[in-house]
């Protein structure tokens, strides 16, 4: 049933994410949602999302939000940290956005990433050794031992964050994303992280190395150098995004394959490439469920609905990946044998399209075949429907992923 005016209340404690996605998809192209008492629009269909992601009347600037201007939304709202993340390529539009983003996107092209492929392979092998050791007598958590540390090591290498600091960062981001963390604690940890990143940037400014943080500090020839605030903003966006989303990509792919043994067989037999697994996972079970937020600087007509000036717009990537109008009637099925190419939009579209897309594909493209190559008998130690989703509103994040390595 299509009831475009019903408001979908996004529940941080939701376990049935498919149910939430379906409910959102009952209202296309836009749905009215409520995020912990705060109303917003969300886009639930591929075509309109694509269009809105190119629409310059929608901006990232928090000051364009009516509910922020009026004081109805404040720092007391638990999701404010998803929007008010400091000045960076994530929060600025237009020419300034290009200035903030260029170096990062240039550093993350498939060609440039070839240079760190051997490092990613080495990290993967080391973590698989640890997994083998910890899982030799029984159940081991694939999340904490493998899927979580790998992206942190990779983004740490890229940005020049020492390994000794990775556990602290993992802990802080876990608390940041969890809706069970009291808001004062979340604001305190964000403030701590800001101090940490500012110190790191000063240290790199004094002793530049060959990492991306040092590159961001150096002035472009003839260009305006980024300010310390901008470098910090970009650095923390890279660490948060590079870490959190890739955990989801790896675990969701493993989960989908284990739930579809016939398809896993085809991959292990070399009939279907790993890239297809990665792309179908990105479409079907997106790491990022809802991306907050953009604001309308004028009224924007979408179909027969109007996003009024000052209203907030979320992009619900999970619903978009399940769009039957774009992906066909079987959009709800995980199917790596589908005859048509998978044209998902999980990395976004337009100027803010994920600069780390190629990196995440390289990471998952190394991690998945290495994992299944080493443990072809890998299986879940619990039933699939016993996997607990964390109380996180915007990411598809699991509590743990307990596995048995040897069947």
Q: Which residues bind to ligand STR, rule: CB under 6 A? A: 81-82, 85, 90, 236-237, 240-241, 244-245, 288, 291, 395
State which residue, 24 or 267, has the beta carbon closest to ligand STR: 24
Tokens of 191: 């403030």
State which residue, 124 or 245, has the beta carbon closest to ligand STR: 245
Query: How near is the Cβ of 141 to ligand STR at its closest, in Å?
Result: 22
Strand pairing class (305-307; 312-315):
unpaired
Q: Report which of 133, 185, 180 is spatially closest to residue 391, judged by C-alpha positions.
A: 180
State which residue, 291 or 307, has the beta carbon closest to ligand STR: 291
State which residue, 190 or 366, has the beta carbon closest to ligand STR: 190
- Count of H helices and E strands in the chain? 17, 11
Q: How far apart are CA 183 and CA 229, in angstroms?
A: 23
CA distances from 272 to 264, 290, 299 (A): 9, 30, 46
* Contact (CB, 8 A) for 216 and 104: yes
Residue entry with tokens 């083998």: 132
Query: How near is the Cβ of 236 to ligand STR at its closest, in Å?
Result: 4
Query: How near is the Cβ of 375 to ligand STR at its closest, in Å?
Result: 28
Query: How near is the Cβ of 98 to ligand STR at its closest, in Å?
Result: 17
Q: How many other C-beta atoms lie within 10 A of the C-beta of residue 275?
A: 14
State which residue, 81 or 149, has the beta carbon closest to ligand STR: 81
State which residue, 314 or 370, has the beta carbon closest to ligand STR: 314
Beta bridge partners of residue 58, listed in sequence order: 296
* Contact (CB, 8 A) for 226 and 217: yes
Q: How far apart are CA 114 and CA 337, in angstroms?
A: 28
How distant is the alpha carbon of residue 238 from its chain centre?
A: 11
Q: How far apart are CA 85 and CA 100, in angstroms?
A: 14
State which residue, 148 or 395, has the beta carbon closest to ligand STR: 395
Query: How near is the Cβ of 85 to ligand STR at its closest, in Å?
Result: 4
Query: How near is the Cβ of 288 to ligand STR at its closest, in Å?
Result: 4
State which residue, 131 or 315, has the beta carbon closest to ligand STR: 315
Query: How near is the Cβ of 104 to ligand STR at its closest, in Å?
Result: 12
* Contact (CB, 8 A) for 253 and 241: no
Query: How near is the Cβ of 11 to ligand STR at its closest, in Å?
Result: 18
Q: Report which of 193, 164, 120, 135 is spatially closest to residue 359, judged by C-alpha positions.
A: 120
């Amino acid at each position: 049933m299509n009831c475009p005016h019903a408001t979908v209340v996004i529940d941080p404690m939701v376990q049935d994410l498919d149910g939430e996605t379906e409910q959102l998809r009952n209202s296309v192209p836009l749905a009215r949602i409520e995020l912990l008492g705060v109303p917003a629009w969300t886009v639930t269909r591929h075509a309109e999302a694509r269009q809105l992601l190119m629409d310059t009347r929608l901006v990232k600037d928090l000051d364009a939000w009516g509910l922020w201007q009026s004081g109805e939304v404040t720092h007391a709202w638990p999701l404010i940290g998803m929007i008010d993340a400091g000045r960076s390529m994530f929060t600025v539009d237009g020419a300034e956005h290009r200035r903030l983003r260029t170096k990062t996107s240039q550093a993350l092209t498939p060609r440039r990433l070839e240079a760190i492929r051997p490092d990613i392979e080495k990290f993967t092998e080391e973590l698989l050794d640890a997994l083998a050791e910890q899982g030799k007598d029984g159940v081991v958590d694939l999340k904490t031992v493998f899927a979580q540390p790998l992206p942190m090591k990779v983004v740490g290498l890229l940005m020049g964050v020492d390994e000794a600091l990775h556990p602290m960062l993992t802990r802080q981001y876990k608390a940041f994303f969890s809706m069970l963390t009291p808001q004062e604690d979340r604001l305190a940890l964000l403030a701590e992280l800001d101090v940490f990143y500012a110190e790191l940037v000063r240290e790199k400014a004094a002793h530049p190395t060959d990492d991306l943080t040092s590159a961001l500090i150096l002035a472009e020839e003839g260009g305006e150098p980024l300010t310390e605030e901008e470098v910090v903003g970009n650095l923390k966006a890279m660490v948060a995004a590079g870490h959190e989303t890739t955990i989801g990509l790896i675990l969701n792919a493993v989960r989908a394959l284990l739930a579809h043994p016939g398809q896993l067989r085809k991959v292990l037999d070399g009939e279907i490439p790993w890239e297809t697994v990665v792309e179908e996972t990105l479409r079907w079970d997106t790491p990022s469920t809802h991306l907050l937020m953009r604001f309308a600087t004028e009224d924007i007509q979408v179909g027969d609905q109007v996003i009024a000036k000052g209203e907030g717009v979320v992009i619900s990537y999970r619903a978009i990946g399940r769009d039957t109008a774009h992906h066909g009637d079987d959009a709800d099925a995980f199917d790596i044998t589908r005859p048509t190419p998978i044209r998902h939009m999980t990395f976004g579209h337009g100027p803010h399209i994920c600069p780390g897309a190629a990196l995440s594909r390289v990471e998952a493209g190394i991690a998945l075949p290495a994992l299944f190559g080493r443990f072809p008998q890998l299986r879940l130690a619990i039933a699939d429907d016993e996997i607990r989703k964390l109380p996180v509103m915007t990411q598809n994040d699991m509590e743990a992923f307990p596995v048995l390595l040897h069947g």
